[in-house]
Chain A
Amino acid sequence: MSESELAVIKPEALKTYIWLQCFDGSIQQVEEEVAMFCPMICREIVKNGTGSSKNHAIALPERVNPASLSLILDYCRFHQVTGRSNKERKSFDEKFVRIETEKLCELTSAADSLQLKPLVDLTSRALARIIEGKTPEEIRDIFHLPDDLTEEEKLEPLKNINDDPRIRLLNRLYAKKRKELQERHERQKLKDVQVQKEQKDERSLDELLCFINGDGGSGGRATKSKKKNKRRKDHAKNPPKADSEPLDAEGAACVVPCKVDSSNVSRLPCQNPDMQDDAEYPFEDADLDDGLDPAMKEELDREVEDFARRLNSVWNESHIGGNGPVQRFSGFNHR
C-alpha cells in the first residue's frame, strides 16, 4: 500500500506514538505527527531511529522541562493540523503566550533547544512586548535580573545618544521661554481683555501659513486639513483674507534661512509643538557657556526666538480659544 493510502485508512488504534524523555527522567508518549512538528525530535526519529519504544525514548535537551514540553506539544498539536485558517492560528497564538513571565522564559528556552523556530519567534515577541516601555529597574524587577553593573557602566551608553551640547542648550532656553510665556499668559488672563470679533476659522495654522507662502495655485485644496486624508464636511468657507494681515509677519518669519553651510533652506516646522510631554524634560541650571562659539549661539538664539514667536501665537490660538482675542506678540526681548 502506498503511504497516502495508509495515512487515510489508519484508524485511531494504529496511531504511532513517540516516546520522549526529559532530563529529570520522566517519560511520556505523544502522537507521532505531533512530535514530528519539532525539527529536533524529527531528526532523532529519522536519523537515529530512537523514540519508538519506552526503552529507547528520545532524550530531550536539558532546557526542556516537563511543563514546557507539555505546552510545546499543545502548540504542535494545534498547528500541525492543516485545515486551520490564519485567523484561527493567530488567535491561538495570542492566547498561547498569555502565561506567567517565568513560564514564558522557560518555554522560549525549551522551544529554542528543540529548534521550533515559529514558537521561538512567538515567545520572543511576547517577551519583547513585556520589556517594551519599561524602565531598566522595572525590567530587572520583572525578570529578577541581578543589578550587577557599576554606576559608571550604567551611564555610558545613555550618555552617548543624548549628549549633544546644542540640544542641552536649546532645552534650557526652550524651558525658560516657555516659563516666561506661561507667566505672561497667566497675567493676561487676570486682566480685562478686549474681545476682538474673530471669525471662527477651523483650519490649522499650518494650512494658513502654507497658503500665504505661495500655494495659491492649490485653491480649494488649501482648505483641506494638513492631516493625512482627513476630510471635513464643514470646510471653512471663509477665505483667509481676514487673517492674512496679522499672520503675514508670522509667515515671513517662518522662512528663516538658518544654516549657512549646508544646502537646506530650513524653517521651523509648521506644527503645534507638543506642550505636555516637555514638562518632564530635565534641564540643569548650569552655566550656559558650553564652549559654543558665538556664531552658533547667535543662530540658536534666533531659532529659539522664532520658535518662541510661533509658540506664542499657537498658544493664544489653542488656549485662549476661538472666541477669545488673538493677541499679537510684538517684540520679544530675551537678552
Chain B
Amino acid sequence: MELLCPSAKRRRSEDLAAGEPPPRATEATEAANLGPTTHSKEPPPPPDAGGGGDVDRISGLPDAVLGEIVSLLSTKEAGRTQILASRWRHVWFASPLVIDGSDLWTKPKIFTAANEALASAVSKILSAHPGPGRRFCVPPHYLHDRPATVDAWLSSPALHNLQELDFWEGKHMVHRYGRPYPLAPPPASTFRFSATLRVSTLSKCELPDSSVEGIHFPHLKQLGLENVSLSEGSLHTMISSCPVLECLLLNGIFGVGCLRISSNTLRSIGVGTDFDCYRDNLHRDNLQLLEEVIIDAPCLERSLYLGSFKPTNFIIISAPKLEALGCLNNDWFERTRLVFGTIIIQGLKVVSLTTTLSSVKTLAVASHNMNLDTVIELMKCFPCLENLYIKSCISGENRWRHKHRDFIKSCDIHLKKIVLSYRGIKSQINFASFFLLNARELELMRLEVGNTNYNEAFFAEQYRMLQMEKRASRGARLHFTNKACSHRVHVNHVRDLSVADPFECME
C-alpha cells in the first residue's frame, strides 16, 4: 500500500536536515491541546495574489486557527484541504485529527468490501497523521470483527489526547447481521483516553464489571451506551466516574432493570430501546430491559423517552429546571409512568396532581386514543407549557365548548407552538380549533398533512373550518407541511441530547 504524502514527509525531513526544529506540527499540537487558543506566532504573510482586489485573506490565519477550521470539516474534506494550495498542504497534519467512519464509508454498499475499504482507510490515515486526535468514530461491529485492529488503532499516536470516541453506526452504515453475534468487551485501550475524553459512545459491546473498575473520566460530558450489556453495578460505577456528565443516552442496554442517577451536572437524559436493538438481542439470557429510572438532578433540563418494549417508570425526585419532557406514551408495551413529586401520570392519564410543574415548557405525547380531554388534563399539570407535540393521530369527539368552559375561563393557555398530524376530520378540527380560539399566545400551529391534502384548496378550506378569523391570538400562524415526522424524539447520538427542543423535526 502506498505511503501517505511522501513529499510532505520529505519536506519535514528536509527541515530537520537544515537544522530547524520541525516547527508547525509540534507547536500546533500543543496549541491545539490546551483549552484557550494560546495565540500563535505571526504567520507568514499571505502569498501575493497578483491582480485586483481578490486578496487571499484566509491563508494568513495562523496554523492553529486553520487547523481548528479543518478539524470542523468532514474527514474526507479535511484530508482534501491538503490540495487547496501550498500553504494548506500541512494544515491537516497540524490540525486535530477527526476520523469519522460515516464520512469515509465508500460505495458500493456490498458490505464486506465497504468494510474492508473503511478499515484500510482508517489505518492509512492513522499512520499518516501525527496527532493529536479530536474525534474517532468507527462502526461498533469492528469491536467484534476485528478487535486486534481496533486495539492497534486506539493505541496509535495519531489518537493521542482523543476527545471524542464513538463506536457508533450512524444511519449510513447501519448493518444488521443475519444472526446476532456475541457482544465482546471493548479493548482495554478504549479506556486509554479517560483523561481527555469529552464525548463517548459505546455500542454493541459488553462491559464486564472488571473493565469499569477504577475508571475515571474527569472531562466526560456526554456518554452514550447503545445496545450494551452490563450489570447494574457497572452502570452506576460508570456514571459516577463522570463528575461533569451533562448528557446521558441509554439506548437498548441490557442487564440493568433500574437506574438510579444522582448528579449535580446532568442536564439531559434519554432512555429507550429501539426495535433493532431489541430484535438483535432476543436470544440473550439476561434480557433485562431498563424499566425504571430514578433521577435526582437539580440541573436536569430534558428527560426523554425514546420508546421501548416494556413499560418504563420515571421517578423524578428533584428536577426543578426540567423544561422538556417526552415522549410520554400510552401504548401498552411502552407506556410511561411518570412520578414527579406529587404528580403521577400513568400513560397520559393524570392520576394524581397536587402541585403543578411550572418549569416544563415542551411536551411530546403519543397515544392510540389521543383526544382533547387527555391533553387538557396534562395542560393542568404543566400550566406554563409553550410547545406541544402530538405524535400520534387525534381521535375522539373533542367537543369543548360546554365541557371545558370552566377551564377556558379560569386558566390562561400559554401555548405558543402546537404540532400535530392532520387529515381534516371532525375530531381533529375540534381539537385544533380549541387551541386556535382559546390560546391567546399562540404563535404557530403546524399541521402535518399527507401528500393528497398538500394543496392550496385544502389549506383554504381548513383555514375556514378552523375558524382562523376568530383566532384568539392575532399573531397565530397556520403552517401546513407534508413532511411527516416519523421519529418521536430526534435523538440518534448523545450529542442530540443537548438540543433544546428534541421533538422538532429538523429536516
A interface residue numbers (CB < 8 A to B): 39-40, 62-63, 87, 102, 105-106, 108-109, 112-113, 115, 117, 120-121, 124-125, 127-128, 131-133, 136, 139-140, 143-149, 153-164, 166-167, 170-171, 174, 206, 210, 213, 215, 217-218, 221, 224-231, 233, 254-255, 258-259, 262-271, 273-274, 277-278, 281, 300, 303-304, 307
Q: Is B77 engaged at the interface, CB distance under 8 Å to the other chain? A: yes
Q: Is B2 engaged at the interface, CB distance under 8 Å to the other chain? A: yes
Beta-carbon contact of B80 and A157 below 8 Å: yes
Beta-carbon contact of A115 and B2 below 8 Å: no
Beta-carbon contact of A307 and B37 below 8 Å: no
The dominant DSSP class at the A interface is helix
- Given known contacts A206-B176, A264-B181, is B110 in contact with A307 (CB within 8 Å)? yes
Q: How many angstroms from the CA of A146 to the CA of B85 in the assembled complex?
A: 6
B58, B65, B79, B306: the one within 8 Å of A157 (CB): B79
The size class of the interface chain B forms with chain A is: 35 or more
Q: How many angstroms from the CA of A255 to the CA of B111 in the assembled complex?
A: 13
Q: Is B17 engaged at the interface, CB distance under 8 Å to the other chain? A: no
- Chain A residues lying within 8 Å of B278, measured Cβ to Cβ, are 218, 221
Beta-carbon contact of B77 and A131 below 8 Å: yes
Q: How many angstroms from the CA of A218 to the CA of B276 in the assembled complex?
A: 11
Closest residue of chain A to B180 (Cβ to Cβ) is: A215
- Given known contacts A161-B79, A227-B486, is B145 in contact with A262 (CB within 8 Å)? yes
- Given known contacts A149-B85, A161-B104, A304-B110, is B62 in contact with A144 (CB within 8 Å)? no
- Chain B residues lying within 8 Å of A136, measured Cβ to Cβ, are 80, 83-84
Instruction: Convert B3-24 into 0s and 1s, putting 1 for each residue whose CB lies closer than 8 angstroms to a CB of A.
Output: 0111100000000000000000
Beta-carbon contact of B393 and A266 below 8 Å: no
Q: Is B354 engaged at the interface, CB distance under 8 Å to the other chain? A: no
Closest residue of chain B to A39 (Cβ to Cβ) is: B36
- Chain B residues lying within 8 Å of A267, measured Cβ to Cβ, are 111, 177-178
B83, B124, B178: the one within 8 Å of A149 (CB): B83
B73, B106, B112, B279: the one within 8 Å of A218 (CB): B279
A110 to chain B, nearest CB (A): 10
From 57 to 98 in chain B, residues with beta carbon under 8 angstroms from any chain A beta carbon are 57-62, 64-65, 68-70, 72-74, 76-77, 79-89
Q: Is B56 engaged at the interface, CB distance under 8 Å to the other chain? A: yes
Beta-carbon contact of A148 and B77 below 8 Å: no
B128 to chain A, nearest CB (A): 8
Beta-carbon contact of B393 and A213 below 8 Å: no
Q: Is B403 engaged at the interface, CB distance under 8 Å to the other chain? A: no
- Chain B residues lying within 8 Å of A206, measured Cβ to Cβ, are 176
Q: How many angstroms from the CA of A265 to the CA of B181 in the assembled complex?
A: 9
**Could you write out 8 A-B pairs with CB less than 8 Å apart?**
A136-B84, A145-B88, A167-B106, A215-B282, A264-B144, A265-B179, A266-B177, A273-B108
- Chain B residues lying within 8 Å of A106, measured Cβ to Cβ, are 57
The dominant DSSP class at the B interface is loop
- Chain B residues lying within 8 Å of A227, measured Cβ to Cβ, are 486
- Chain B residues lying within 8 Å of A115, measured Cβ to Cβ, are 36-37, 39
Q: How many angstroms from the CA of A157 to the CA of B75 in the assembled complex?
A: 12
- Chain A residues lying within 8 Å of B2, measured Cβ to Cβ, are 159-160, 163
- Given known contacts A147-B85, A157-B4, A264-B144, is B72 in contact with A128 (CB within 8 Å)? yes
- Given known contacts A231-B392, A269-B175, is B486 in contact with A124 (CB within 8 Å)? no
Beta-carbon contact of A144 and B80 below 8 Å: no
B359 to chain A, nearest CB (A): 15
* Residue in B36, B49, B72, B89 whose Cβ sees the most chain A Cβ within 10 Å: B72
Beta-carbon contact of A218 and B282 below 8 Å: yes
- Chain B residues lying within 8 Å of A269, measured Cβ to Cβ, are 109, 111, 174-176
Supplied contacts A269-B111, A269-B174, A271-B174, 18 more A-B pairs, CB within 8 Å: A105-B58, A115-B37, A132-B73, A132-B74, A140-B84, A140-B85, A143-B58, A144-B49, A155-B83, A160-B5, A160-B128, A161-B124, A174-B108, A231-B486, A258-B112, A259-B112, A270-B176, A303-B112
- Chain A residues lying within 8 Å of B144, measured Cβ to Cβ, are 263-264
* Residue in B2, B58, B486 whose Cβ sees the most chain A Cβ within 10 Å: B58
Beta-carbon contact of A127 and B179 below 8 Å: no
- Chain A residues lying within 8 Å of B57, measured Cβ to Cβ, are 102, 105-106, 109, 143-144
Q: How many angstroms from the CA of A117 to the CA of B393 in the assembled complex?
A: 48
Q: How many angstroms from the CA of A170 to the CA of B87 in the assembled complex?
A: 37
- Chain B residues lying within 8 Å of A40, measured Cβ to Cβ, are 39
- Given known contacts A156-B6, A213-B178, A229-B487, is B113 in contact with A145 (CB within 8 Å)? no
Beta-carbon contact of B487 and A153 below 8 Å: no
Beta-carbon contact of B113 and A170 below 8 Å: yes
Beta-carbon contact of A170 and B110 below 8 Å: yes
Q: Is B461 engaged at the interface, CB distance under 8 Å to the other chain? A: no
- Chain B residues lying within 8 Å of A87, measured Cβ to Cβ, are 500
- Chain B residues lying within 8 Å of A213, measured Cβ to Cβ, are 178-179
- Name the 10 nearest CB pairs between A and B, nearest first: A128-B72, A105-B57, A144-B54, A154-B83, A145-B85, A255-B178, A230-B486, A105-B58, A143-B58, A144-B56
